[in-house]
Each structure stands twice: as C-alpha cells, then as structure tokens.
Structure 1
C-alpha cells in the first residue's frame, strides 16, 4: 500500500505563476480603463465634491498602501535592525512586500493628481516647511533610497546580511512617514472628526497591523496555502511571537476605534455628527462586530491563534476591515463642509465612481505583480 508524499517546505511556483499572470492581466485591463476615463473626462471621472470632498477613494487607497508599506518595513526591521532572530524567517518577504505596497500606493496617488510629475519635482523644493506634505514627500524620498539600497545589498541572490546603515535609514524613514501621515489629518483643527494628537499613534498601530496581516496572507500564498510547506521557523513564529503581536495590535486598533466612536457619539461639536451617521449604517456595524470582533476572538485565544488556517482567516478579515476603517476615516472627515451656506443641507454625500474603483483595482494588481515577480527572482525566504 502506498501513501501520498507530504509536501516539503518551500514555495509553490505553480500558484505564484498563476498569481503573476492574473495580476498582469488585471493590471493591464484596469490601467487601460483608468487611462481611457481620465483622457476623456479628466478629473471629472472622480466623484469628488467642490464643496468639501477633495480626497476620494484614490487617496484612501494611497494612504492604505503607503502605511502598509511603512509597517512592513518596520516589521522587517525587527530582524534587519534589532536582530531578533525569530523574525528572520519573514524579514525578506516583509521587506519586498513593503516595496510592492509602496508601488501600489504611489500609482494610486499619481492617478489622483492632475500633474503628478510637477508635484514630484516642485513639492520637495517648494520650501514650504510648515506644510506636513512637504516633509512627507522628503520622507518618502529617503524611504525609497533605503528600500533600493536594501534590495541591492540583501534581497538579490548570494547576498550577505543586510547592511545596518541601510536598514536603519529605512526604519527611520518608515516611522517618520507614519508620524507625518497621521499629522496630515490629526493636526487639522478645522476638521474635528480628524483632529487629535493620538492620530499618529493610531496610524502606527494600523500600519503594523497591516504589515502583520499582509505577511501572514502572502506567506501562505507563497506556500500554496498549504501549512505543510511552511518552514519550521515560519511555523514557530506564526504560532508564537507573530501571532501574539497580531492579537496585541488587533486589541490596540479596536481600542482606538471604539474610544473615538464613543467620544464622537458623546460630543456635540460641529463635525462630530459624522459618528452618528456612521453608527446608523449597517456596514459600519459589520466592520465593528465582524471586522474587529472576529479577528480579536481568533487571535486573542491561544488555542485558536496557533491554528494557522484560522490565523489566515483572521488576517483576511482584518485587512478588509482596516481598509474599510481607513475609508470611513478619510471620507468621514470631509462630510461636514468647512464653509456652510444655504446650498449645503446636512452632510455631503460621496460614492466612488467606477474609475475610482478601477484605480483601487490597479493598485492591488500592481502590488501583486511586483510581489509575484519578487517571489520568482529574489531570495525572499528566511534562510541565509
């Protein structure tokens, strides 16, 4: 009687080839549709509102992917900078995922800006040091330099351990970008829904939570969604320290969401009525009770957290809920117009256009294309 051979630890090239093909096809299709709409309609292809909603779904996409990228770089730094050996198993893959997420985020931003190349060249040299976006762009520049340095010196085959200077530069730039990204919203006193010194800390927690969930999801994908292909180091890390970090970050994120929700429902300041609007939406309750509640249950209970399939389920739910929370935050802060008149009654309304959804799809497909290419040509496994 013969027995079926169990898969050995390693990647699943067949699945990754399918992901690459699907991502490239999706990227070409979404890019063609977005280009056609922008060439024929210009910025009118987006459902913005000149009365106050200037940042729509493309900016939500950009923020989400950028902060996911910085979080992934910070997660990789646990090994590259602090040399915590247990995290060596995921450091390379996390760093390349940071590159993939950055590519998707920057693409979404460029498609939202009317003149992206003009902005790229003019903002860094504008001298507008009082503007958070000035410092954010410089942070992204140094972040990109650090990532390119790390790729050249570490991710290519037959390379030694990462250079400490490049790793530190990448980490410092990632933390700086996350702090400034929170400040872009949290320092706007004229937008009570956004305003608060805790926003940068909340962004830090959310970026790290995105990093953990993406690392879990794409490691499973690289292994063909077969836990038998996981290396011993990956299995130990996922069932131990990384799973514990996942639980801590989920609880911290839930604390920020619930505390801001309670204060928003209690407050009577103009602008905070958005919380009552969100509270009366069924989708918001789905985000709360399923998007937050279920991953917390699956990660906080040790017996469930050590089950890698359930951990993957929690990661998928959490990353969708994180994107929904970012949408609520960015759009919700603009629903109350800054300058009211007889032409504005109640809250503004916004629904993303088909072009804006296509920009999101383009960012997702581009990030997956970059990641799948890295799985093919770079050394992303933890072994040296």
Structure 2
C-alpha cells in the first residue's frame, strides 16, 4: 500500500471516448424487476407532494433493522444524512476526525458545513488506523467516522477490534459507523447494530440503498442511532425532502431479498475473479469486501484513463474501480496489461 498523500476531493475527469464509468462504485445492474414495477406504479402519484417529513420509510426500515422509528433518520442518500449529522452535531470551531483517503463526500461536506477536520493516514495495508484515530481525538472533536468496509480500499475492520476502539472513544464523541457497503459482507462479518448501540450509545450507523440495492438515482439513505441522537439529527431534515417513490422502492426491495442476494453474490464473485487476475499480473490489490477494488500503483489511473475507463483516481496514481460488470473487468485487465507491455523493464 502506497503511503503518498491523497486528495479525496479531486473531481472525476471523463476521457474523451468513455468506455466504462467505474468511478462512482455504482451497481452495474438496474433495479430488480419487481422494484421497477412498484416504481412505475408510484410514478402515477408524483403530482402529489411526498410526506412533509418521512413517516412511512422509518417504519419500513425499522421493522427490517429491528428498531423503533424514533431511532431512525432517513434522507437523500447516506450523503444527505451525513450532511445533517455534521450540521446537527458539530458546532463552530469544533471538528471531526476521519481517515485519509476516505469517502470523498466527507471532506467536501465538511467544507460546505464549515466543519474543521483532522485526518489520519491509513496503515501500510490500506486499513484504517483506529488507534491513531483515538490519539487524534481532541477536546473539540465531536464526530469520528469509521467506514466498514473502508472506502476506497475495501478493507474490513474485525468486529473485536472495532469494539475495542469504541471502548477507547470518549462517550461525548459520536462515532459514525459508515456501512454503505454492508450488504456485500459475508454474514459472519456483519455486526448486530442493536447490540452494538446498546453497549455504545454514541455510535450512529449510516447506510444506503444506493449500492447493493441499485437505487443510487433515488437518493435513499438512513442512520440508526439512540433516540435522543436521532432526534437531534432529524431537526435538520428538509420538509418534503424525501422523494415520493422512496417508501415503495424500499418495501419492494426488501420483498425481493433472494434476488438481491443473487446479485450481490454475482458482484462479489466478479470482484474476486478480477482481483485474482490483476494480482497475477503484478497489480497490488488489497482484499476488498465491497463492490469495488483499490488498485495501488503510480501508473494505474493514467493507464485506465488512456483506455477510456473512468475511475476514482488519487494523486499517487492509484485508482478505485467499481466491479460487477465482467466486460468492464476485462477492459481493466487489458488496459493495465497493455501498459505493462508498453513499459520498459
């Protein structure tokens, strides 16, 4: 894993002749057929406003997660909910701590919200350095963000290590556990949210329907938190802020669980196939538990760009690519193999 400085806020730059868009870790599949049917039915009512503040959606998600609606905050994707968290919990001259690199929305939203940030580099294996994050917590720290799996490397913090970290974080600091890619985890690697928050009430779990569920364009995300913490964040919700199709789409997605698992398995299988192939050609790829791979090396991003493949690139030349489409994976291998063949020994 390279240790060069990262800048997570660089914009995506599409090549002149774009072949594949792999920079946003999107699901390559359209919504499930039953979900599309429900969405089409809901479109007949879009002349009406959605709920002033969402009530149906928290009930639907709460029944699934096993919590009461007062412990839920729903919003415009995980990004929208994260923005409300910053607005609600971090005041002037206060700060948040997160790893670098991380989901690039965090530094961008922090600038928008006027939030101070303190960043902690990854270790040499692409993992979040939890103990360095504990040391980075200061008297003005209000929020710490931990991604599980991590974005952009896909690495996974073991549950025992996470609990030890949470025990070391002061209770006055809210820990945002970003689980945007939780559906791609093996069941043995998932964490009981209800039990975790019973032990650590300062943990706020953030999730989305944009990735595994393939609903990125509908912007549906949610957070699970202790009732008082959730209430503080909900005060920042915008009236009529959730689209009218959200409840219908989530209900239909939950009903199609078996189909969803098949799609997740297909994406995970393609991820492992592509990672193994790239490693055979000498590309450094950390073990990923999400729907993307982090390709570490100074020539990766330029080679993909020249091949018309849009990736999330980093200043050290590395890149993160979405996985799941076999044709895109083949194109990535060809682009990097061509680069190796063209490079002098």
Higher strand share: 2
Higher helix share: 1
TM-score, scaled relative to structure 2: 0.29
Point out the structure with max Rg over C-alpha.
1
